[in-house]
Amino acid sequence: MAEKYDVIIIGAGPGGLTAGVYCFRYNLKTLIIGQLPGGYVGLTHKICNFPGDQGVSGSDLANKMINHIKNIDVDFIQEAVKDVSGKNGNFKVKTEKKEYLGKKIIIATGTEHKKLGLKEEEKFFGRGISYCATCDAGFYKEKIAGVIGGGNSALTSAILLSKYAKEVFLIYRGDSLSKGEPKWVEEVQNNPKIKILFNTEVKKIKGKEKFEGVELSNGKELILNGLFIEIGAIPNIKLAERLKLELKKLSIKVDKEKRTNVPGVYAAGDVTDTPFKQILTAQADGAIAAHSAYTDLEKEK
């Protein structure tokens, strides 16, 4: 028989983990299910805007959050959720291995990397093409790497790669790095290893048996050993759609208490229509969602 919880949290990033901490404080029987403990935080090179840690690696910060969960009475399962269904007070959450029952659901599924959509992108994924500099930068010691994008993720990826590669090309379709935080922009512009290609897009991925480089929108070819794609992310709304949650610009629409249009379902973090998506705002969302779930459970007693 499936085990029943007061709250099941789907997603193990800052929003989901913080929701777990607060559910524990409210004495709620809680389960967190997430495929990537810590979420994309753990894949971030360096975080400089988290109060209390002037400069902390993403993996260290993620581990702190995960260890907090491990040391309190909250169940955690590292799996992917395949389906969620049901109604307020009786939701079913299925993974590949098991089914769980929950009175309330908090969706904190975050985002997934945007793809270029080019022909050879999938073919060379993991063999020259990557979406995670923190994971793969070390493979490019004394080699030439490219980064696509102009936001903070692209800038920090280029900075990290410059510590290994002999040359890094930052390829961006815009004409300035206005999307990035000024401090990151300054560091990139002052780095002699990083060459910025403005008003430029990748039109074709080159290579037969292995990745060899890219063809650019100006017709030129750029020989590269590796390419890191950092063009943003889109909310992971597959489960939201199954629950028929109302969306706003492909994000889950929530009220100020993180309730969705479906009773008993709350959402937190980057998957929501929160305009400013940061670790801190995801954590705040998780805390509010947990409080709302607790408040509703108390009313229903």
257 in the same domain as 221:
no
62 in the same domain as 8:
yes
Q: Are 10 and 84 in contact (CB under 8 A)?
A: yes
Q: How far is CA 106 from CA 68, 91, 265, 286, 294, in A?
A: 19, 11, 6, 8, 12
Q: How far is CA 187 from CA 145, 147, 152, 159, 199, in A?
A: 18, 15, 11, 8, 20
Of 211, 229, 247, the domain-final residue: 229
Report the distance separating Cα 286 and Cα 23, nearest Å.
10
Contacts of 285 by beta carbon, 8 Å cutoff, 6+ apart: 15, 108, 254, 258, 267, 268, 269, 272, 274
150 in the same domain as 102:
no
Report the distance separating Cα 235 and Cα 239, nearest Å.
11
* Block residue for tokens 């028989």: 1
131 in the same domain as 106:
no
Domain encompassing residue 80: 4-112+233-300
216 in the same domain as 123:
yes
Q: Are 128 and 207 in contact (CB under 8 A)?
A: yes
Domains of the chain: total: 2
242 in the same domain as 220:
no
What was the pLDDT predicted at 118? 93
> Active-site positions?
132, 135-136
Report the distance separating Cα 120 and Cα 133, nearest Å.
20
CATH number at residue 196: 3.50.50.60
What was the pLDDT predicted at 296? 98
Q: Are 143 and 210 in contact (CB under 8 A)?
A: no
- Please report, in tens digits, the pLDDT of each residue of the chain (301 residues total): 788 999 999 999 999 999 999 999 999 999 999 999 999 898 887 888 889 888 888 899 999 999 999 999 999 999 999 999 999 999 999 999 999 999 999 999 999 999 999 989 999 998 999 998 988 999 999 999 999 999 999 999 999 999 999 999 999 999 999 999 999 999 999 999 999 999 999 999 999 888 999 999 999 999 999 999 999 989 999 999 999 999 998 999 999 999 999 999 999 999 999 989 899 999 999 999 999 999 999 999 8
Q: Which of 115, 109, 142, 135 is nearest to 236 (CA)?
A: 109
171 in the same domain as 216:
yes
Q: Are 159 and 186 in contact (CB under 8 A)?
A: no
262 in the same domain as 293:
yes
37 in the same domain as 87:
yes
Of 197, 229, 261, the domain-final residue: 229
What was the pLDDT predicted at 1? 75
Report the distance separating Cα 162 and Cα 187, nearest Å.
11
102 in the same domain as 119:
no
91 in the same domain as 8:
yes
Contacts of 234 by beta carbon, 8 Å cutoff, 6+ apart: 111, 112, 114, 250
What was the pLDDT predicted at 216? 97
158 in the same domain as 14:
no
Of 178, 200, 229, the domain-final residue: 229
